[in-house]
Structure formats: structure tokens, C-alpha cells
Amino acid sequence: MSVIQYILDLGASVMIPIMILLIGIILGQRPGKAFRSGLTVGIGFVGINLVIGLLTNNLGPAAQAMVKHLGLHLSIIDVGWPATAAIAFGSTVGSLAIPIGLIVNIAMLLLGLTKTLDIDLWNYWHIAFTGALVAVMTGNFLLAVLTSAVHMIVLLSLADRTARWVETYYQYPNISFPHGTSAPYYLIGAPLNALFDRIPFINRIQWNPQFLQSKLGVFGESTVLGLIIGLIIGVLAGYSLKQTLQLAVNLAAVLLLLPRTVSILMEGLLPVSEAAGKFIRDRFPGRSVYIGMDSAIAVGDPANIASSLLLVPVTLLLAMAIPGNRVLPFGDLATIPFIVALLVPIFRGNVFRTVLGGAVAIAIGLPIATWVSPLMTKAARQVGFQFPADTTAISSLVDGANPLTLVILLIAKAGWVGMAVFGLIALSAAWWFGRSEGKGVARDHA
């Protein structure tokens, strides 16, 4: 267990480059080239984290100010994904999450049930989270372990299903997102997109960044959009003119810097992705492989970040308006770009649809986060989590509000039989997605 904890403590910016180096060598890259790829990916992650930190440090205080200005009084605090991940990995099941995830991934690869090799070990905390909640809910450790394994199967299946969107829209060949925050929202985004295509007026709105720039000129550029959104958030927060202008310029900086840092990461990742494709084609004709990555590589997309910033005030208004919601969105407001990471390509970069679809997803998620709160609060107490001052109940927008979390917990209530059946369904879906690879996506992009 101490070895696993040591690996986790390295963080994504160190751990993923090491994985890239090892995988690159296994795939036949020269050690020097593999080392350079891994180091470049690590530098890219450092850059992304710095810019996300800039976003968080500006949105956090603005969110607090908006809460006071809008008069929100909600008793459950959204503690954010870092705290949620710490609670998940700190649990008994969480200590086994990495070996569980690796065993499931390797077994599915060998059996031809997935094309994704998920090297993003840090984000195995998502399967640790559901396992920890099931352990709290049922008191059954082995059922919690099975839950984590089944969750991994579902994420790999969804990653395979959405890989073509990742390639077509983001231009990332042989990359998939088995990310617990992003992948499940495909199940909301795909039917919503089909619905939007059939609704008059909505089906004619095409507000992608290119369209906005062509119609609005300089006001449609991503940095200027960031500035405008910052001004809107500053006003809603009741900021002074000085504070509002500083927030606006910082958000404009985020929209400029995020794509640059992501391009650095992809500079290191693409050679490994190409080597993986060649390795599989040479040894297993007719098969392909995806490198499973953190959806952080998608958050620099202009449509993603613009939609996410617009969703910040929308999320707070939804929290106030939805009957029965008791969660105060806070820690994960800066994580909305991960929630919409797969909605953006499904909606073809349409900012209007992404904001609308994201609002639907969050509106569904807030009652789920309220329902999950007692389990998450108990799990947090068991691992000695330090609660914020004057806080007795916690939740999160990331996995606490995730529809897949609700599905898994409801199925776990049925015990071993329910979870085993769900696992078989997920394996069947993985097999089916593999056989029909790309067909549905090709039609959606036609």
C-alpha cells in the first residue's frame, strides 16, 4: 500500500510522464525519444495546472461573492475534486483502486473487449470514489471492490465509444477519455444533440467560435469573449470596477494560455500515440489501440472554456432554483470544463448547445449530489477529512453530481446479483461498441 501511496503522491505531472516513457520504450520508441515525449507531456501538465490554478484562484472568490450577492443559503458544501479524490483514495477500497483498474484494463485488452489503454492512473480515484460510497452504504468490502471494477469497465466502454469524437473534433488520433468526470456525460449529450436537431429555431443556432468571430469580429475572439464573460461574472458578484476588470483580464488570459499549454502536452503525446498505432497494426492487423488520457487535454478548446465560464453563473442560479437541492456549488466550478469535455465535440463546438446541454446535465446532477451527500460525508469522516469551518455536510459537482454515480449506487443496493448483472451489461456494451466502432460517430459528423 505504501508503494501505491508513493505513486499517488508523485502527482499527474510526474506519474504520467513516467508511464509515457515506459510505454514508449515498450512500443519500440528509442529511449531518448520516449524520454523526451514523457518530459514534454509532464511540462504540458504543469502548464495546464498553472492555468487551471489561475482560473480557480479567480473563480473561487468570485463564486463566493456571487453566493453572497445572490443570497444563496445552501447547507451542503461542494468541496471540489481534490478533496473528493483524497477522500476516495484514503478509503480502504481506494488503496486498491490502481491495481483493480489495471487488472480490469489489461484483461479487457487481452480479450479484445476494449481498445483503450488507460495510463492516467491518478484518475483511477473515480472508481475508488464509487467503491468507497458502496462500502459506506452496504458495509460490504468485497461488493465495493466489485463496484470499482465494474465502474472501470463502464469507463473503458464509454472511452471506446467516444474516441472518434475526440479524434474528429479535437484532432487527437488514437486518444480516448476514460475519465470519470467526462465520459458519462456522453449518455446525456448524445440524446440531447439528437433532440436539439429536431427542435425548430434551436437546430438553426450554430454559435461555434468561428461563427462568433465572423459575426462579431474582435468581440468574437476567444480572449475577448473571456474578457466579456469576466465582466459579467464580476457584475453578478457585486465586485468593484477594479476587481471586475482584474477578473476579466485574468479570464481572458486563461482562454489564451490554456490552448498553448495543451499544445505542449500534445507535442509529447502524439509520437507515443502514433507508435502505439503502428505497434498494434504490425502485430494485430485489423485492431487499433487508444491511449486513455485525462480530459484535461480538451479543456483548452475555445468552445469548451467559453461554455464553461458561461455555465458558472448558470450553475449558481440552478442551485438556487432547483427544488430540493441543498448543494452550494463552489469547489468544482472551475472543473466545469471537464464536465463538458465530451459535450463539446458531440455538439460540434456549438457554444449555445454546450451551455444548454451543460445546464441540463448540472440540473440533473445537483439533486444527485444532494442525495449522495450523507454517504460522502460519512466516507470523509472515516478517513479523517478536515471539514471547512461551519460545515457539517459535503458533496461535489464532479462525481457527487455524476449520473453514473447514482446508477452505480442504486444498483449496489440490489447487492451482488445487481452489480454482477450490471457488469455483464457493461462488458456486452464494450463488445458491441468495439464491433460497431465509429459507425454512429461517422453518421453524426456527416
Beta pairing, strands 76-78 & 327-328? parallel
The pLDDT value recorded for residue 436 is: 66
pLDDT in tens, 258-310: 778 877 877 887 787 777 777 777 776 767 889 898 898 888 888 998 898 88
pLDDT in tens, 12-35: 678 778 878 888 888 788 888 889
The pLDDT value recorded for residue 446 is: 37
At residue 213, does pLDDT exceed 70?
Answer: no
The full DSSP string for 299-331 is TTSHHHHHHHHHHHHHHHHHHHHSTT--EE--T
Please report where in the chains the cell 478517513 appears, as a residue.
Answer: 383
* 277/107: higher pLDDT: 107
Taking the C-alpha atoms of residue 13 and residue 11, their distance in angstroms, rounded to an integer, is 6
The pLDDT value recorded for residue 438 is: 45
Mean pLDDT across the stretch 141-163?
96
pLDDT band at 400 (very low <50, low <70, confident <90, very high): very high
Strands (E), 24-161: 76-78, 116-118
Range with the lowest mean pLDDT among 82-96, 112-126, 277-291?
Answer: 277-291
The residue type found at 137 is M
The mean pLDDT value of the chain amounts to 86
Three cell numbers written together for 310: 458561461
CB-side neighbour CA atoms (13 Å) of 250: 20
Are the C-beta atoms of residues 332 and 83 closer than 8 Å to each other? no
Taking the C-alpha atoms of residue 396 and residue 335, their distance in angstroms, rounded to an integer, is 10
At residue 135, does pLDDT exceed 70?
Answer: yes
- Within 8 A by CB and 6+ apart from 128, the residues are 88, 89, 91, 93, 94, 97, 148
Mean pLDDT across the stretch 438-446?
43
- Within 8 A by CB and 6+ apart from 441, the residues are 162, 164, 165, 168
pLDDT in tens, 230-266: 898 888 888 999 999 999 998 888 878 877 887 787 7
Task: Enumerate the β-bridge partners of residue 291.
Answer: 117, 175
At residue 443, does pLDDT exceed 50?
Answer: no
Distances (CA, A) of 359 to 192, 318, 364: 12, 8, 9
Closest CA to 39 of 257, 263, 269: 269
pLDDT in tens, 320-378: 899 989 998 887 888 899 999 999 999 999 999 999 999 999 999 999 999 999 999 99
Closest CA to 290 of 104, 170, 164: 164
Taking the C-alpha atoms of residue 351 and residue 355, their distance in angstroms, rounded to an integer, is 6
At residue 445, does pLDDT exceed 50?
Answer: no
Mean pLDDT across the stretch 54-58?
80
The pLDDT value recorded for residue 181 is: 94
Three-state DSSP class for residue 414 = coil
CA dihedral 146, 152, 154, 158 (to 10 degrees): 180
Q: What percent of the chain has pLDDT over 90?
A: 41
Range with the lowest mean pLDDT among 67-71, 77-81, 161-165, 317-321?
Answer: 67-71
| Max Cα distance, the chain (Å) | 63
pLDDT band at 441 (very low <50, low <70, confident <90, very high): very low
Mean pLDDT across the stretch 188-215?
86
